[in-house]
Amino acid sequence: MADTQGLRVRLTQDQPIPLDIDLYCRPGEVLALVGPSGSGKTTVLRAIAGLHHPEHGSVGCQDEVWMDSARDIYLDAHQRKVGLVFQHYALFPHFTALGNVLEALTHLPKPQRHERARALLRRVHLGGLDDRYPRELSGGQQQRVAVARALAREPKVLLLDEPFSAVDQVTRRRLYRELNELRRSLSMPIVLVTHDLEEATLLADRLCLLHRGVTLQAGTPLEVAARPVSALVCRLMDQQNLFTGQVMSHDPQNRITRLRWRGLILEARYQPEYAVQQRVCWMIQSANVLLHRRGRHSNGDRENPLSGTIVEYMVLGEHVSVLVQVDRQLRINLAMTVPLHVARRNALAYGEQVTVSLLADGIHLMPFEKLRGDRAGEDLV
Partner 1 sequence: MDWQALLLSVKLSAYTVLFLLPTGIWTGRRLAYSQFYGKSMVQALLAMPLVLPPTVLGYYLLMSLGDASWAGQLLKSLIGHAPVFSFEGLVIASIIFNLPFAIQPMQRAFEAIPRDVREAASCCGMRPAKVLLRIELPLAWPGIVSAMVMTFAHTLGEFGVVLMVGGNIPGETKTIAIAIYDRVQAFDNEAAAVMSAFLLFFSMIMIALTYLITARTRTFHG
Residue 155 or 308: the one with the smaller Cβ distance to partner 1 is 155
CB of 168 to partner 1, least distance (A): 20
Tell me how far, at minimum, the Cβ of 184 lies from partner 1, in Å: 24
Q: Quick one: 362 exposed, middle or buried, by C-beta within 10 A (0-12, 13-18, 19+)?
A: buried
Q: What DSSP element (H or E) covers 65?
A: strand 64-68
Burial of 157 (0-12, 13-18, 19+ CB in 10 A): buried
Question: At 107, is the secondary structure helix, strand, or coil?
Answer: coil
Looking at the Cβ atoms of 78 and 296, the one nearer to partner 1 is 78
| Region of 55 on the Ramachandran plot (φ > 0 left; ψ -120 to 50 alpha; else beta) | alpha
Q: How far is the CB of 90 from partner 1 (least distance, A)?
A: 4
Cβ distance to partner 1 smaller for residue 53 or 174 = 53
Of 135 and 296, CB closest to partner 1: 135
* Minimum CB distance to partner 1 smaller for 74 or for 270: 74
State in angstroms the smallest separation of the CB of 210 from partner 1.
21
Q: How far is the CB of 263 from partner 1 (least distance, A)?
A: 56
Three-state DSSP class for 190? strand
- Which SS3 state, helix, strand or coil, does residue 72 take? coil
- CA–CA gap between residue 174 and residue 140 (Å, rounded): 9
The footprint of partner 1 (CB under 8 A) covers 49-51, 76-78, 82-84, 86-88, 90-94, 103-104, 106-107, 135, 149-150, 152-153
**Are 120 and 148 a contacting pair, CB within 8 Å?**
yes
Residue (of 339, 309, 306, 345) closest to 324 by Cα position: 309
Nearer to partner 1, 86 or 164 (CB): 86
Minimum gap (Å) between residue 368 Cβ and partner 1: 44
